[in-house]
A and B are shown apart, each in its own frame.
Chain A
Amino acid sequence: MEKKEKKKRHSSNNETRPVEGQPARPGQGAEVLSRRELLRRAGMLGGAAALPVSIARAAPRKVPVQEPFETLTATESDTLEAIVSRLIPTDENGPGAAEARAAHYIDHALTGPLSVSRDAYSSGLEAVDRYAETSRGIRFAELPTEEQDSLLTEMENGTATGFSPDSATFFNLVRAHTIEGTFCDPYYGGNANFVGWDLIGYPGVRTSVTEEEQDIDADLEPNRMSAYDYPMFTKGGA
């Protein structure tokens, strides 16, 4: 059997997505979409699809600097943005947690489903900055990236001091939520513009998949659909 040695990569686009708490956009029917319609919605007709991957990736969407947070304080959000940006960095492999808006995902979730972790973020983010100042002289967000990475490694190993119960616990909490915020359904405010799903080659939420589409060599185009772009689904719980 011929094996693909490298999966095809897909570019991001700049389409805005529905977010939690807002109604789905009208006109996003659950009808069977033609391939052309899928490509159109994906912004891939008219030449974009032909762009080399490296060029298509080169212009990730910038997150507005002044975009407000819902529950995190200014200092907390600075530190959290800096952490998630090192956990999943923007680099030669394309957009990362910053473009995915993982910190905004976490901020919003802390007002609801993750509210049980709100205090852990207050105390943990403060401990990060306190440890950055005592060990390196300045707040985490102002450190050079190499120093941020070495500090995060100390947190991961549980050797950074001043955390309750320990730095590894807080590191693992933020890591798990950063992965959620980068790879979740964009409905929740993360994985903006599908940058997370594009990174790992996930072709997107579908409501039906054919036998051919499950072939080991099938190469599916990303459909850039949120579950809640399909109007049949309601949101309830969690």
Chain B
Amino acid sequence: MPIDLEPTDVVLVGVGAVGGVAALPLTSAGLDVIGLEAGNWLTARDFAPDELRNNVRGWPQSVQKANREVPTHRRSEGAPYSPRPSVHPMMNAVGGTSLHYWGQSWRLNPWDFRVVSETARRYGAGRIPAGSTVEDWPFGLEELEPYYDAVEYEVGISGQAGNINGTIDERGNIFEGPRQREYPMPPLRGSGFTELMSDAARGLGWHPFPGPAAIASQTYDGRPGCVYHGFCSRGGCHVNAKSSTAVSTIPKAMDTGRFSVVTRARVSRIEVDNDRRVRGVTYFKDGEEYFQPADAVLLASYVYENVRMLLLSKSAAYPEGLSNNHGQVGRHYFTHNHRGWVTALFPFDLNNWYGAAAQGVAVDDWADDNFDHAGLDFIGGGNLWVYTERRPINAAGMNTFGRAPRWGSEWKSFIRENADRWTGSYLQKTTLPYEDNYLDLDPNVTDPYGDPVCRITADFKENEIRLTEFAQDRMVEWFTAAGAIETIRNDIETMGPATHAYGGTRMGRDPDTNVVDEWGFSHEAPNLGILGGSVMGTSGARNPTLTAQALAWRTAAHLAGNWSTIAG
């Protein structure tokens, strides 16, 4: 039998990018919060600039929970399973993957909230791809704006505004929706390479700008600005300039005296009472089993574990899994169409060895509905991003562009000349949910505790493939204008375990097609809230974390503001 613990107001399942944000508005409102985190604390001394450890061997996970539950993947029902990676795309630690992500911190564009209605208005309803289950969000950008703003200031985002209350500033993204004020810090500085690319984009008549980053560009909240040392991708920050939740909202929440973090806590089930309400969670820590009662539970793991935890938490009230009496848990899953990069070779050194993957230049002219699709055979678009940070193993493993073999003296001569003359690009492209892309429990593969892992059945469709070709054309155009002599279009790949995963517990007003309501609370279990990309129904053409964090803040603020109704 589990050890029964003292009840608390709110229990957070996961203290990462979203749980770590939600803790702040909850505790600031006077609620007592316990955060259950599968990982440990990591600190600046853990974040060595070590490519082999961080990037090749997959980061020193503080615990191995995530790596023991890597989802399986098949492209469709009946298709063979894809090779299963040994390392999970996300990590367990206080602060979660916000410790070692690139830190690109975008707001979605207005169109992303209104894909269905805006497409119908501009091009006709027939332009929504067949089989897509995409819906408009239950609200628009203007509803989320104050929460974006709160996260940008409390977490610490650097960037250049492009639209303050409708006034366009061409130094920023002219396509972004209105924001109430500037970012709390100026953008990360440029580099020689990003200036080269910015000049080329302007020469094409495009609108380049520095992207927003969860990285301090100057001293902020007592943390120093970025030192651009080049080990940011999958590397934590050794000076705490990266605005992970572990150095921003989590310590602020702990300062209230109302936030306790339990590390190495592996949550096994969310428990339900006779009224179909949740009553707390069961977890294991260091070999002991505990039950933590709470008046409200916020599920704040990643997409795959959010879905798995609900499907594993079966009860008389929820025989097919918690909050799944409408059969929507696991539906509307997609991963961001962010492969299909373009790689380029230049005839001169780029000096791209240092910097950070979030130190770059973006072009949004071809994203979302920022251009006319009347004569095109797809909807949506791609944000184009080029960036700094080159590491030696990756540099030496470069594509040889058909100009050299893959080994031997000729190869050695080639990489000696070209290791600093190539670059990738990051093309984040609209991705839609489809009726036959979904998550469920794998019937055969389990974690070491005997619970099934999450199974992904999903693949990109025609809209994503056509859009990728279009975005790649634009990226080739940009690289060529900057002087590149070779370009390679990389494969779109498929929807296996990814750092940008969405859906599975989608947000919307209709319980027949969505798991959570417009505030992020279950349509079926009213005191269960769900945080993270799993509630997002569209991807936009940009990284999801800031949107997931803004939604988490909004859900937490709603809980605090309606405590007696929701938790009473």
Contacts and interface: CB of A to CB of B under 8 A. Distances in A.
Nearest to B398: A200
A62 interface: no
A179 B397 contact: yes
A188 B45 CA distance: 19
Contacts of A86: 407-408
Max chain A Cβ within 10 angstroms of own Cβ: one of B52, B355, B396, B408 = B52
Contacts of B388: 214
B392 A237 contact: no
Interface stretch (A38-46, A68-76, A215-223): A215-223
A80 to B, nearest CB: 15
B7 interface: no
Interface string A89-106: 101010010000000000
Interface string B364-397: 0000000000000000000000001000110111
Given A179-B397, A180-B393, A87 B407 contact: yes
Given A175-B406, A217-B351, A88 B412 contact: yes
Contact of A187 (B46, B50, B229): B50
Interface in A188-238: 188, 196-197, 199-203, 205-211, 213-218, 220, 227-228, 230, 232-238
Contacts of A185: 50-52
B60 A91 contact: no
B353 A203 contact: yes
A87 to B, nearest CB: 4
A86 B62 CA distance: 38
B144 interface: no
B392 A208 contact: no
B52 A180 contact: yes
B44 interface: yes
Given A1-B196, A86-B408, A7 B420 contact: yes
A175 B47 CA distance: 28
Contacts of A182: 396
A228 B45 CA distance: 11
Given A197-B392, A199-B412, A200-B396, A3 B406 contact: no
A238 B53 contact: yes
A149 B393 contact: no
Nearest to A87: B407
B45 A232 contact: yes
A184 B412 CA distance: 16
Chain B interface residue number, banded: 35 or more
Contacts of B124: none
Given A175-B407, A209-B230, A215 B351 contact: yes
Contacts of A200: 392, 395-396, 415-416, 419-420
B402 to A, nearest CB: 16
Given A185-B51, A196-B396, A207 B229 contact: yes
Interface of A: 1, 3-5, 7, 86-89, 91, 93, 96, 113, 149, 152, 156, 175-176, 179-180, 182-185, 187-188, 196-197, 199-203, 205-211, 213-218, 220, 227-228, 230, 232-238
11 contacts: A3-B348, A3-B349, A5-B347, A152-B407, A179-B396, A199-B415, A206-B229, A206-B354, A227-B48, A230-B48, A233-B45
Given A237-B60, A237-B61, 16 more contacts: A1-B196, A4-B348, A87-B408, A89-B409, A113-B57, A180-B56, A184-B56, A200-B396, A200-B419, A202-B353, A214-B191, A214-B192, A214-B193, A215-B192, A235-B53, A238-B59
Interface of B: 44-53, 56-62, 189, 191-193, 195-196, 227-231, 238, 347-351, 353-355, 388, 392-393, 395-397, 406-409, 412-413, 415-416, 419-420, 483
